Amino acid sequence: MRLLDAETALADAPPGHKDELRLWLRLLTCTNLIEAEIRRRLRAEFDTTLPRFDLLAQLERHPGGLTLGEISRRMMVSNGNVTGLAARLEEEGLVERRVSATDRRAQSLRLTAKGRREFARQSSAHEGWVAELLGGLSLPEREALQRLLGRAKASVRSGLQEVGA
Amino acid sequence: MRLLDAETALADAPPGHKDELRLWLRLLTCTNLIEAEIRRRLRAEFDTTLPRFDLLAQLERHPGGLTLGEISRRMMVSNGNVTGLAARLEEEGLVERRVSATDRRAQSLRLTAKGRREFARQSSAHEGWVAELLGGLSLPEREALQRLLGRAKASVRSGLQEVGA
DNA sequence: CCGGGATAGTTTAGGCTTCAACTATTTTCC
DNA sequence: GGAAAATAGTTGAAGCCTAAACTATCCCGG
């Protein structure tokens, strides 16, 4: 009986969502702080951008090449976005495109030798930056955070499902 | 949004990646998932964008008005960015500008009545969305996450200091 | 074989964002 | 008072990003 009352009371209570909102704002602040710093350093030290770096990272993980469509899905950005990004990277000589032998609509992208060299430098610096920025957390803290963020991710995904994407 | 898939891909990657990197990728994934959904809903339900919403939120918190420079600092974006944002919001009749009486360089922005009405609608929906998306976490989980993100923020800030901002 | 639907990619219009150069004004300080 | 430095804001060039319309190609069923 008590429990039922508590539940009812909770349902009737004014929407006290401030708590979740504060959590979201802190999550956002934290991510933006790190992301802005990484963008800044990519620019300052390698004269490149995060999207370019991300695209190269995809290709690095798939030495056999990826089609623009696959890249677009993996990076979760629009098709047209990848078109432009690929064009700039190609112009810089970091990637090369080859029309598919079996499907004349498709073309696959892969790193050039220069692209591989360049990404290797960037990637190793990037890893160091992240380690440096998050290095103030102890190992147990990092583990706990990793776990809780996993829980948050699951919560969000189930929130998206409900709406029936 | 960008590195969403990177976290998954990291599982396949050869070992030697620091766990800080994995933590960063999960943080990014989590934030981008939520942010993308909020942008989507702002667009679908209110035909607006996150930056516009954020600017209105700043003005809502400061009924006396804010100068463009103050807004730029609070939103942590460039001056020129705010110029354009403010111009669009003014054109939509949501904000109004007034040149400062004491400093002819400065102008302060404040919400119009329409802006206040509009933001009230958006804000209340927004709060509900966030609560819905993060609702899968228990209260203790949310508290722990809030605390750990605070620690992460502190770690990042001290990382920035070192470089001598 | 052929018509229609699906798929790969490009283009376009428009918004967001930065940096750097610029104008206008205020403040500092000699 | 007046020159120099600081500050408020705008502008322009360039990149990032999306949605929607478009072209080209492929594939499937009749």
Q: Can you give the CATH number for the domain in which A85 is found? A: 1.10.10.10
Query: How far does the CA of B32 sit from the C1' of C17, in Å?
Result: 17
The reply to whether A114 falls in a domain is yes
Could you tell me if A135 lies within 8 Å of chain B, comparing CB atoms? Answer: yes
**Do B52 and B130 sit in the same domain of this protein?**
yes
- Calpha distance B134→A152 (Å, rounded): 6
**Do B54 and B93 sit in the same domain of this protein?**
yes
Q: How far is B111 from chain A (nearest CA, A)?
A: 22
**Do B2 and B68 sit in the same domain of this protein?**
no
- Strand duo B107-111 + B66-67: pairing: antiparallel
**Do B109 and B73 sit in the same domain of this protein?**
yes
Residue B4 predicted with pLDDT over 80 = no
The reply to whether B121 falls in a domain is yes
Rounded average pLDDT over B10-35? 78
Interface of A with B in 65-94 (CB under 8 A): 73-77
Side chain identity, residue A159:
G
Structure token digits, residue B99: 């040149």
Q: How far is B56 from chain A (nearest CA, A)?
A: 16
Q: Which residue of chain A has the CA closest to B30? A: A153
Mutate to test the interface with A, among B130, B138, B161 (most CBs of A within 10 A): B130
Task: Determine the 3-state secondary structure of B70 from DSSP.
Answer: helix
The reply to whether B156 falls in a domain is no
**Do B55 and B129 sit in the same domain of this protein?**
yes
pLDDT digits (tens, 9 = 90+) for A59-82: 999 999 999 999 999 999 999 999
Contacts of B139 in chain A (CB under 8 A): 19
pLDDT at B87: 96
Residue A5 predicted with pLDDT over 50 = no
pLDDT at A3: 33
pLDDT digits (tens, 9 = 90+) for B33-43: 999 999 999 99
pLDDT at A10: 40
Q: Which residue of chain B has the CA closest to A58? A: B6
Domain with B14 in it: 1-47
The residue ranking higher by pLDDT, B35 or A163, is B35
Residue A164 predicted with pLDDT over 50 = no
**Do B30 and B57 sit in the same domain of this protein?**
no
**Do B43 and B54 sit in the same domain of this protein?**
no
The reply to whether A51 falls in a domain is yes
The reply to whether A86 falls in a domain is yes
Query: How far does the CA of A105 sit from the C1' of C6, in Å?
Result: 13
Could you tell me if B150 lies within 8 Å of chain A, comparing CB atoms? Answer: yes
Residue A13 predicted with pLDDT over 50 = no
Q: How far is B102 from chain A (nearest CA, A)?
A: 34
Query: Which of B32, B47, B62 is where one domain is finished?
Result: B47
For chain A, the DSSP string reads -HHHHHHHHHHHS---THHHHHHHHHHHHHHHHHHHHHHHHHHHHHS--HHHHHHHHHHHH-TT-EEHHHHHHHHT--HHHHHHHHHHHHHTTSEEEEE-SS-TT-EEEEE-HHHHHHHHHHHHHHHHHHHHHTTTS-HHHHHHHHHHHHHHHHHHHHHHHHTT-
Q: Shortest CB distance from A54 goes to which of B3, B136, B137?
A: B3
The reply to whether B159 falls in a domain is no
Number of structural domains found in chain A: 1
Nucleotide lying nearest to A78, CA to C1' measure: D18
Strand D positions with any atom < 7 Å from protein CB?
7-13, 15-21, 24-27
The reply to whether A78 falls in a domain is yes
